[in-house]
Amino acid sequence: MVIQCMKKFSLLDYPGKAACTLYTAGCNFRCPYCYSAPLVIDTHKNREIPLEEIYRYLEKCKGLLDGICLTGGEPMIQHGIEDFLSRVRELGYEVRLETNGSFPGKLRRLISEGLVSYIAMDIKNSRERYGETVGIEGYDVENICRSVEYLLSGAIPYEFSTTVVLELHQRSDFEAIGRWIAGAKRYYLQRYLDSESVMQGGLHRYNDSIMQQALEIVRENVPSAKLRGW
């Protein structure tokens, strides 16, 4: 289990809870708009935070924190995630897990074993444009579809979200995503934000008007859809 960044306190990362946010190293995707490039491609340059240091902090903060938010990178590529989450749960914390959904078997196992409390899954794009959006030409979306289907079944509280990028998303994509996750309980469109740590430069965000139009398109099939970060 390789964790390279730790935000000790947040009221935003796990809505409704005071949380510690932990960032794992590495990812199996190369999304061009990813703002965590240092955690994805420069992992050898970062300090690894010893797990015992994290456990000590969580032990000390009992009663002050409600849970952790485990993000990345992609946490599901970590071989020790089950043992780590077991320890966190033993300490009495809720767990919000952020994932790209590419490991449906592992996702099911973590949920069935009670190791996570909430899943936040990225929907990168319509199925037809997934490979382009995750930086892997010809990517097979079968595993993504399995994760989506499982979460839609109501096995655990969840949310879906899509980071909207001008060069990667158009009207037909929002229509397709809406049909794909029809009836989802929580879905968020969030606008791309440029930063120095983004994976690829030269990308842009949509303006307020276009974001609102995208939201209305999605709401035809996902009435719960909202804009995030406004």
Instruction: Give the per-residue pLDDT at 196.
Output: 78
Centre a 10 Å sphere on the Cβ of residue 87 and count the other Cβ atoms it contains: 16
3-state secondary structure 127-172: HHHHHHHHCCCCCCCHHHHHHHHHHHCCCCCEEEEEEECCCCCCHH
Output the CATH code of domain 3-161. Answer: 3.20.20.70
- Starting at the edge strand found earlier in the chain, the sheet holding 226-228 runs 3-10, 19-24, 67-71, 94-99, 118-122, 158-164, 187-191, 226-228
Give the DSSP H/E element, type plus range, for residue 190: strand 187-191
Q: Give the residue among 117, 108, 136, 112 at the shortest CA–CA distance from 27.
A: 136
pTM of the predicted model as reported, rounded to 2 decimal places:
0.94
pLDDT-above-70 percentage for the chain: 99
Structure tokens of 109?
């196992």
Q: Which helix (H) or strand (E) element contains residue 68?
A: strand 67-71
127-176 confidence digits (pLDDT tens): 999 999 999 999 999 999 999 999 999 999 999 999 999 999 999 999 99
The ranges of the chain with pLDDT < 50 are: none
Which pLDDT does position 198 carry in this prediction? 84
Under 8 Å between Cβ of 43 and 2: yes
